[in-house]
Amino acid sequence: MQGSTRRMGVMTDVHRRFLQLLMTHGVLEEWDVKRLQRHCYKVHDRNATVDKLEDFINNINSVLESLYIEIKRGVTEDDGRPIYALVNLATTSISKMATDFAENELDLFRKALELIIDSETGFGSSTNILNLVDQLKGKKMRKKEAEQVLQKFVQNKWLIEKEGEFTLHGRAILEMEQYIRETYPDAVKICNICHSLLIQVPAGQGTGAHHWALGSRGSVQVLPGILALGPALPHCWRILPQELAEAISQDVSGHLPTVPRRDALPPSSLVLLLGSKGPRLLYFSQEG
């Protein structure tokens, strides 16, 4: 943030109310943020033209910059819905949750986070998390109490629960991305398509995934990991087929070489044509 040339904005009552309400909610989806913005205009400046959301938030961020606070945009991992949260850039660790949770509760979150990051799927089972209560710092915690604390994490949008397993909420990813990258450099996963932090890894996208490709003479080979695109965020995989379709060439040297049957490919595979001008995306293989 230092050395930024961003022009300082002006905070009106509309901006201040918006900021206060966003702080109250912690994190909101984009449609709700837009609704909140319209509400604030209606209350404080009914006759004004509602700014474009991006410009509106940039204006607020230009004022907050000196305080090392920022309204940050992210996406939900499962389906790519845009979300917004107010992030404290000066404090990247779990300590930013200290105002809402006791020391032993923070330690429970820390251990749950470690289980989630170290897992292949990005989920930690409630059983495994609860089995760690005897290792917590501070006041002793019974498993029943730990179950209630886990629900507090869910209610405060730090964790998401799915069928007895927990993963990080988008809010936690937005606020703790730097901390996670620095604390777990060997375990952290990165989306190879958008380069965002990757917590949930869909089945069939192991970190050692390979992808089929066509050699320059039409021979089929499996590329080593250095050229593989998996793993990736689920919503990134879903948007790839359209991008691939746009990249398909109508005429590749007059004909397409023989390619492996799609039903013979592993899930989430890319077929590439390796030519003198670099790899060209041909098609994308999905489950189902």
pLDDT of residue 255: 38
Q: Note whether 154 and 101 are within 8 A (CB).
A: no
pLDDT of residue 99: 74
Structure tokens at 13: 């009552």
Rounded Cα gap, residues 91 and 63, in angstroms: 18
pLDDT of residue 13: 93
pLDDT of residue 114: 94
pLDDT of residue 254: 36
Stretches in the chain below the pLDDT threshold 70:
1-8, 91-93, 95, 192-194, 201-288
Backbone angles phi, psi at 166, to 5 degrees: -120, 145
pLDDT of residue 77: 82
- Give the predicted TM-score (pTM) of the model: 0.69
Identity of the residue numbered 156: N
Structure tokens at 15: 């901006």
C-alpha to C-alpha distances, 202 to 83, 90, 288, nearest whole angstrom: 21, 32, 14
The predicted-structure confidence for 69-117, as pLDDT tens digits, reads as follows 899 998 888 777 889 999 888 766 676 777 788 889 999 999 999 999 9
Q: What is the dihedral of CA 284, 240, 191, 124, to 10 degrees?
A: -80
> What is the secondary structure of the chain as a DSSP string?
-TT--PPP----HHHHHHHHHHHHHSEEEHHHHHHHHHHHHHHH-TTSPPPPHHHHHHHHHHHHGGGTEEEEEEE-TTT--EEEEEEESS--SGGGGTTTS-HHHHHHHHHHHHHHHHSSSS-EEHHHHHTTGGG-SSS---HHHHHHHHHHHHHTTSEEEETTEEEE-HHHHHHHHHHHHHH-TTT-EE-TTT--EE----TT--TT---EEE-TTS-EEE--TTT---S--HHHHHHHHHHHHHH--S-STTSPPP---GGGSPSSEEEEEEETTEEEEEEEE---
**Taking Cα atoms as reference points, which of 239, 240, 238 lies closest to residue 272?**
240
